[in-house]
């Protein structure tokens, strides 16, 4: 039996670089108020972009960004899959801008000990944020529980997540 040599076939795999997409989006978003919350490019060229705006994102915004990216890439050179969407309301905040956007709204913070604290987002700084929590507590010298306002300051590095609390009251 004669054994033949099997020569390996080299496949040239081209991957779109996330830095390229990030720069492409950045130049197209200037002066629009739209910001990128999340960008992911897989090795199989699946591009997912999540965007937001201080006043919210509409379908037209997603379509416009998608078209700008798509027209800047050549499917003949490298095939890709593209999805542009608004960042979900139920998703945890990733950027300080998202905290600023939701100032004055009710949020749910999961601290580093996995304790859930719900309150109104009162203040946002570069390194931290403050929420106000209204609770009923028994105060010494009183018979009934009374409403007490407390403020909690969190450092972004010392929490697990912060989400917008969605209520249908």
21-50 tens-digit pLDDT: 888 888 878 788 899 999 999 989 999 999
pLDDT in tens, 120-139: 999 999 999 999 999 888 88
Residue with tokens 């542009």: 84
Q: How far apart are CA 169 and CA 150, in angstroms?
A: 23
Tell me, what's the pLDDT at 136? 86
In order of 6, 7, 37, 103, 167, the CA distances from 2 in angstroms are 12, 16, 59, 76, 74
Query: Low-confidence residues of the chain, pLDDT below 50?
Result: 1-13
- Note the pLDDT of residue 137: 85
CATH topology of domain 18-86: GMP Synthetase; Chain A, domain 3 (3.30.300)
Integer Cα distance of 91 and 38 in angstroms: 11
DSSP 3-state assignment of 16?
coil
Please, where in the chain does CATH 3.30.300 lie? 18-86
Numbered ranges of CATH 2.30.30 in the chain = 96-164
Please tell me the predicted confidence (pLDDT) of residue 9: 38
Enter the tokens of residue 31. 């002066």
Rounded distance between C-alpha atoms, residue 100 and residue 128, angstroms: 11
> d(Cα 132, Cα 134) in Å, to the nearest integer?
7
CATH topology of domain 96-164: SH3 type barrels. (2.30.30)
Which pLDDT score, from 0 to 100, does residue 14 have? 54
Structural contact between residues 136 and 87, judged by C-beta atoms closer than 8 angstroms: no
């Amino acid at each position: 039996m004669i054994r033949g040599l099997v020569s390996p076939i080299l496949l040239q795999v081209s991957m779109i670089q996330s830095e390229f997409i990030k720069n492409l989006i950045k130049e197209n978003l200037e002066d629009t108020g739209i910001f990128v919350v999340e960008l992911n490019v897989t090795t199989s060229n699946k591009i997912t972009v999540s965007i937001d705006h201080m006043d919210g994102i509409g379908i037209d915004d997603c379509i416009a960004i998608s078209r700008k990216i798509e027209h800047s890439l050549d499917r003949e050179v490298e095939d890709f899959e593209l999805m542009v969407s608004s960042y979900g309301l139920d998703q945890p905040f990733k950027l300080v801008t998202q905290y600023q956007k939701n100032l004055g709204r009710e949020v749910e913070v999961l601290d580093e000990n996995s304790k859930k604290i719900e309150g109104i987002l009162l203040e946002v700084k570069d390194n931290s944020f403050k929420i106000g929590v209204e609770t009923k507590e028994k105060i010494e010298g009183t018979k009934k529980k009374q409403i007490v306002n407390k403020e909690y300051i969190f450092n972004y590095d010392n929490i697990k997540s912060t989400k917008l609390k969605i209520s249908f009251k």
